[in-house]
Amino acid sequence: MLDSPIAKRLVWSGLIAGLGALATVAVNKLAAAIWVRVFDEDPPDWE
């Protein structure tokens, strides 16, 4: 199945999207932890 260039592209795109989402969540949690430590309050909402 992965002999097809289109299938390889789809798998690659999915991998990039998944890792990007995980990185976003991890960075957001790290930034929130730093904010709480520095300012001793919850970070502002992005609404």
pLDDT for 19: 98
CA-based max dimension of the chain: 54
Instruction: Determine the Cα–Cα distance for residues 9 and 13; give it in Å rounded to an integer.
Output: 6
pTM, rounded to two decimals: 0.75
Report pLDDT digits (tens) over 1-47.
688 999 999 999 999 999 999 999 999 999 999 999 999 999 998 76
pLDDT for 26: 98
pLDDT for 46: 76
